[in-house]
């Protein structure tokens, strides 16, 4: 195996190890009771509130209580695993594990987390509508289809960000000071 190939393999495995380590650290932070009670549950209640308002705008009479969205004939409780935080953890661990400047990581994290949350809102609203009007499809839509779509979206966002980062890192000017100036 060539030197370059070994180096590439080392970078790839290094990324994977950092990713897994960060994911475990993030999990313990998010699963700890204080963070869960003071951050995750209120955040999830916020998702339920926004989803409830959007459902009402769309003509569905939905009431929100904490993390629950209910109508006269159907109700859902948004739990961990359905609030987009899990995909956010995955995305965050991947972005932080990938070699890049901190400023670009920060921008990637903010934009990525917002994009994931927008898609997750669509997921919650869609699932509520399916539960209300097509209850037979709710279980498979919830467990398999939407979960896969949201996680896949998070992974693709990371790959887009990472390929852009790699392009920037491989650009001819290797330092900020070397960048050409206009005029």
Contacts of 48 (CB under 8 A, 6+ apart): 64, 66, 67, 68, 69, 78, 124
Helix (H, G, I), strand (E, B) or coil at 64: strand
Q: How far is the CB of 109 from another protein (least distance, A)?
A: 15
Integer Cα distance of 9 and 133 in angstroms: 50
Q: How far is the CB of 66 from another protein (least distance, A)?
A: 20
Residues 107, 60: Cα–Cα separation, whole Å = 36
Closer CB to another protein, 8 or 58, in the complex: 8
Q: Which residue, 53 or 101, is less far from another protein as judged by CB?
A: 101
In the complex, least distance from residue 67 CB atom to another protein, rounded to whole angstroms: 16
Query: Measured from the CB of residue 50, what is the shortest distance to another protein in angstroms?
Result: 22
Measured from the CB atom, is 55 or 161 closer to another protein? 161
Which residues of this chain interact with another protein, rule CB under 8 A? Answer: 4-5, 8-9, 11-13, 15-16, 19-20, 23-24, 26-27, 30-31, 80-81, 86-87, 89-90, 93-94, 98-101, 139-140, 143-145, 147-148, 151-152, 154-156, 159-160, 162-163, 165-166, 168-170, 174-177
Please say which residue, 58 or 160, places its beta carbon nearer to another protein. 160
Closest-CA residue to 61 (of 132, 134, 135, 136): 132
CA distance 111 to 147: 20
What single-letter DSSP state applies at residue 122? Answer: H
User: Min. distance of Cβ 105 from another protein in angstroms?
Assistant: 10
- Residue 4 burial by Cβ neighbours in a 10 Å radius (0-12, 13-18, 19+): exposed
Give the residue with the Cβ less far from another protein, 48 or 86: 86
């Amino acid at each position: 195996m060539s030197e370059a190939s070994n180096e590439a393999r080392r970078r790839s495995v290094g990324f994977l190890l950092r990713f897994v380590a960060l994911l475990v650290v993030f999990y313990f932070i998010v699963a700890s009771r204080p963070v869960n009670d003071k951050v995750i549950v209120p955040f999830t209640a916020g998702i339920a509130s926004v989803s409830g308002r959007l459902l009402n705008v769309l003509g569905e009479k939905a009431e929100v209580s904490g993390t629950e969205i209910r109508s006269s004939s159907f109700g859902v409780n948004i739990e961990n695993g359905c609030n987009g935080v899990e995909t956010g953890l995955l995305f965050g661990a991947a972005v932080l594990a990938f070699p890049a400047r901190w400023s670009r990581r920060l921008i990637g994290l903010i934009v990525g987390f917002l994009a994931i949350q927008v898609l997750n809102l669509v997921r919650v609203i869609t699932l509520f509508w399916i539960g209300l009007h097509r209850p037979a499809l709710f279980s498979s839509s919830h467990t398999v289809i939407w979960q896969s779509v949201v996680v896949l979206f998070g992974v693709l966002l990371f790959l887009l960000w990472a390929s852009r980062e790699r392009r920037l890192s491989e650009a001819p000017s290797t330092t900020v000071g070397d960048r050409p100036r206009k005029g």
